[in-house]
Structure 1
Amino acid sequence: MSAKESNIALLNHLALEIEALLSTSSGEFDSLISRINAENPWFIASEIKRALNYWSINLRQSVVRNWLNSYKFDEKKVSKKVLLICAGNIPLVGFHDFISVILSGHHVLLKLSSKDQKLFRYLLKRLEHLDSTFSRNYTLINEPVKAFDAVIATGSANTSRYFEFYFKDYPKIIRPNKTSVSILSSSVSDQQLSLLAEDVFNYFGLGCRSITKIYLPQNFDLERLRLAFESFNELIHHHKFRNNIDYQRSINLLNKTDFIDLGHLLLIENKAVFSPMGCLYYEFYNSFEACVEQVKQNDDLQLIASDFSFENSISLGETQSPHLNQYADQIDTIEFLTEFT
């Protein structure tokens, strides 16, 4: 069995372990969640379980094979060292890159975010428990390294510019901070608005696939958003989220900015696409088609979600559940890893 086939089988076993972990109640798992939450208060139990559930589905052998079938892998190609610098905005956000490097036959120099150490390390330990030789696939690093062949790094706009300069002589994928928007048609249903709420509130809106701006048809009844978003009212009890809401409310009152206060979210009419945590920007349009074409020109966007399907759009409610071949920034990670020299 080739190393790739062995790792596909191993990831399938991990998927089954995660599924079993999520389906049973155990003090060990509760303790793990508590430790993760202490490390990063944004990683609450429901969001940790959301991330784990995603991987329990997408690490299945059939899913991984379907993902990799369209690529050609050279089993004789010499393994290279790939420096992977992970973000920590949502749980396991760097895990897709990690398995991409492993399955491409390379060695990962893994730099974890300080915000997402414990959950990632837990999965690494489970993989090593299933196969004691798995640790050969990666090296955890904390200090700067010089001996590597390629780089995959994710960061803010500022750190991405630094990465571009620092790694200018290496094959690389550098991902700057991006966000996502939604364009709603005049026929959007209440059920679809409830799905939009998931795209707005899941992971507290911290993901690059989280919706931070919506485009609405003229005369759209904003009361419909209030009703659709009610199911996430409990987020106001999260102290850090509540602090953000209170801060944004105060700032907008001082600036005399009009807003609609939903209690757990401020709706603000604004042409920008990056809204602060606790706020959702909205903008009215006259023509759906013209709006789509205009929004597509924005390089700051990870994706566009809509109730009306058009080229490269994502359905409402699916922004945080990408297929394995729906790559961040539309840069094919596997293609990069199989072709760089």
Structure 2
Amino acid sequence: MTDLKRRINAFTKLGEFFDEFYEFAKKDPKNEENQNPYLEEFDKKITVARHKNGWFTKENCLYGIKGWAELLTHENLEEWLAPYHIQERSPKTIALVMAGNIPLVGFHDFLAVVITGNKALIKLSSNDDILLPFIAAFLIDVEPGLGDYISFAGGRLEKFDAVIATGSNNTSLYFEHYFGKKPNIIRKNRNSVAILKGDETEDQLQALGEDIFRYYGLGCRSVSKLFVPKGYDFDAFYKAVYRYRPILELVKYANNYDYNKAVYLMSEFKFLDNGFLMLKEDPSFASPIATLFYETYDSTDQLHNVLRADADKLQCIVGSGVWKDEISFGQTQRPMLSDYADGVDTVEFLLNN
């Protein structure tokens, strides 16, 4: 059994390691003596993860690690947990069914379960099954008491008290059937959108490119659709995001761009194209890779009605002075510890079930 203070200290040390690793990974050659042996080992794990999943580029892995390094400080963890009444009690086993769309996508759930004193029984996606086991081993080395609180399921999930499962709209039906009798959080597909007014600066539009292209648009916090005023001229947008053209260097992205462009051409769909990103008018939220959907609006009132009606399909709304809980341009992939997926407070769920 570990107490909250020791668990916070363990994750603080993990944050310090992430920060150290981020600096280590950028050095070349890496031949320093007496360095932390975990640094080289983590570097190897990221290489393996990249070979196994072509979307997991080193740049994107390091981006995620740097983000967690900034969040996992003693001050941030205490501030995050301060509003909750966390008592030491008999731990419950929480099954975590993780997605694998972006590196460490399920880490926040893992953090919430372990830091509240519960046991994490983790079912990893085959697309992201390299990094978290290494991180778990690091935490157990730092705080051996966590050894009984972290386990990975290779097959069928059994003997758990509650579940947090993340997947697609299709897999959510299976999750609801299989896990429905247990306390649960079951997440479906969500997408993020940006609202443009037409007066955005070049800096804001460049920052929006980060929301669109980071992780190749594969995350639920990735902007997949724009809402623009009628008659909007996309020239300024395309000019601002042209700096992201090197995204084509990833063959998987380039292949998706070529394939989707061919489909649009053969189907005689109207679309705009700058050589690496297509814009297609479409009422849907989930756009294919290398495509950004857009929809026009007549008034902000009309737009707000649309967004409220589809609130259960949206993760983030990006903009400047257009929505109450909007996220600033360029910040969708930098959530705070208290930014819960789907707006469901994971810690509150864990403390009450």
Q: TM-score, normalised by structure 2?
A: 0.93
Find the counterpart in structure 2 of residue 213 from structure 1: 225
After superposition, the CA RMSD in angstroms is 1.5
- 3-state SS of 1:283 partner: strand
- Give 1:303 shift: 1.7
Asked whether the equivalents of residues 317 and 323 of structure 2 are also in contact (C-alpha less than 8 Å), the reply is no
Query: Residues 142-199 of structure 1, C-alpha deviation per residue, up to 9 Å, x if partnerless?
Result: 1113211000000111101110111111000000111111111232211111111000
Q: Which position in structure 2 is the counterpart of 1:276? A: 288
Query: Which residue identity is paired with 1:312?
Result: D
- Superposed structure 1 runs of 4+ greater than 4 Å apart: none
- Aligned 8 A contact 2:114 2:149 in 1: yes
Give 2:278's aligned amino acid: L
Equivalent residues, number: 339
List alignment gaps of at least 5 residues for structure 1. none
Q: Which shifted more, 196-205 or 311-320?
A: 311-320
Q: 2:145 aligns with which of 109, 133, 142?
A: 133
Listed as ranges, the matches of 1:76-225 within 5 Å are 77-225=89-237
The CA distance in 1 between the partners of 2:274 and 2:323, in whole Å, is 30
Q: Corresponding residue for 1:316?
A: 329
Q: Which residue of 2 aligns with 1:295?
A: 307
Percent identity between the two aligned chains? 36
Moved more, 105-114 or 182-191: 182-191
Give 1:235's aligned residue.
Answer: 247
**Counterpart check, 1:9 vs 2:9:** yes
Deviates more, 1:59-68 or 1:179-188: 179-188
Whether the aligned pair in 2 keeps the contact of 1:285 and 1:291 (CA below 8 Å) is yes
Find the counterpart in structure 2 of residue 22 from structure 1. Answer: 22
Q: CA deviation at 1:132?
A: 2.9
Provide the residue aligned with 1:43 in structure 2: 56
Deviates more, 1:250-259 or 1:133-142: 133-142
Q: Name the counterpart of 2:271.
A: 259
Instruction: Say if 1:236 and 1:263, in contact at 8 Å, map to a contact too.
Output: no
Cα displacement string for residues 8-42 of structure 1 (whole angstroms, at most 9, x for unaligned residues): 00111111111111112237355333211011110
Shift of 1:109: 0.6
The equivalences for 1:49-64 within 5 A come to 49-64=62-77
Mapped partners of 2:148, 2:221: distance in 1: 32
Q: Which amino acid aligns with 1:242?
A: A
Q: Do the aligned residues in 1 keep the contact of 2:122 with 2:151 (CA within 8 Å)?
A: yes
Q: 46, 70, 81: which one pairs with 1:68?
A: 81
- State which of 315, 319, 325 in structure 1 corresponds to 2:338: 325
Q: Deviation string for 1:245-282 (max 9, x for gaps)?
A: 00100000000001111111111111211111110011
Aligned to 2:34: none
Q: How many angstroms apart in 2 are the aligned matches of 1:112 and 1:61? A: 28
CA contact (8 A) 1:88 1:115 kept: yes
Matched AA of 2:144 = S
Structure 1 residues 21-30 or 330-339, which shifts more? 21-30
1:296 deviation in Å?
Answer: 2.3
Supply the distance in 2 between the matched residues of 1:124 and 1:248 (Cα, whole angstroms).
Answer: 39
Q: Answer yes or no: is the 8 Å Cα contact 1:179–1:209 preserved in 2.
A: yes
Query: Gapped runs of 5+ residues in structure 2?
Result: 32-39
Structure 2 CA distance for aligned equivalents of residues 272 and 11 of structure 1: 39
Between 300-309 and 107-116, report the one with greater CA deviation. Answer: 300-309
Deviation at 1:220, TM superposition (A): 1.9
Question: In structure 2, how many angstroms separate the alpha carbons of the residues matched to 1:310 and 1:256?
Answer: 35
Does the aligned pair in 2 maintain the 1:269–1:283 contact within 8 Å? yes
| Separation in structure 1 between the aligned mates of residue 301 and residue 196 of structure 2, nearest angstrom | 11
Q: CA deviation at 1:120?
A: 1.4
Amino acid at match of 1:187: D
